[in-house]
Amino acid sequence: MINDATAFRQIVARSERMTAQIIYKMIPDTEDRRDLAQDIYLKAFRNLANFKHESKLSTWICQIAYNTCIDHLRKKKIRPLFREDGAFEEDDKEAFVSTGPIPDNLVMKKELAGILKTEIDKLPPVYRTLVTLFHTEELSYDEIQEITALPAGTIKSYLSRARKKLRDNLLMNYKKGDI
C-alpha cells in the first residue's frame, strides 16, 4: 500500500499545476476550490484501475477536474459560460520582491500582466479555462478536447469568442496608452 500511496503522490505532483489552473479558472469560491481539488484526486485514485492509457494520465486527471467543476457549477446553478457576479477573490501569488530599483519595463510588464489577468478572470468559467489551457498551459486542441470532451470546432469557436470578448473589454476599460 505504501508504494501505491507514493506512486499516487507522484501522479498528483505531475498533474496538480494544470488541475489547479482548471479549478481556479472555473470556481470562484476558495473553499469550494479546496473541496473540489480533494474530490478530484479522490475520484482519480478510486478510478485509477479504469484508466485506459488512451491519453496522458495528467490529461485524464484534468478531464476529471473539468467535469467535476462543470458538475459543481451546475449544482450551484451557475451557468458555466456566463459570469454570475463581478469580481472573484484574488490571491496575489506573484508579489514582486526586489532588493534594488525596479526597471520601468519590468514594472510595465507586470502591470500589463495584471490587467490581462483581471480581464481574463472576468470571462465566463469555460472561456477562462480554455484560454488558460491553450495559452498558458500551451495544450493542443486535441489535448483540450480530451479534457473537456468539447468538439474541436466548439473549442476553436469558444476561444475565438473569448479572445474577442477579452479584446473588447480591454479596449472598453483601458485607454490605448495603458495597454
Average pLDDT score over the chain = 79
Q: What's the grid cell of residue 97?
A: 520582491
pLDDT of residue 3: 57
**Per-residue pLDDT tens over the stretch 66-93:** 999 999 988 988 777 644 443 333 333 2
**Per-residue pLDDT tens over the stretch 156-175:** 999 999 999 999 888 888 76
What values do phi and psi take at 43, rounded to 5? Answer: -60, -45
CA distance 126 to 17: 18
Q: Is the pLDDT of residue 95 over 50?
A: no
Q: What's the grid cell of residue 128?
A: 477562462
Domains of the chain: 2-173 (1.20.140.160)
Between 6-15, 21-30, 76-85, 133-142, the lowest mean confidence (pLDDT) is in: 76-85
Q: What's the grid cell of residue 45?
A: 485514485
Higher pLDDT, 54 or 63: 63
pTM above 0.85, yes or no: no
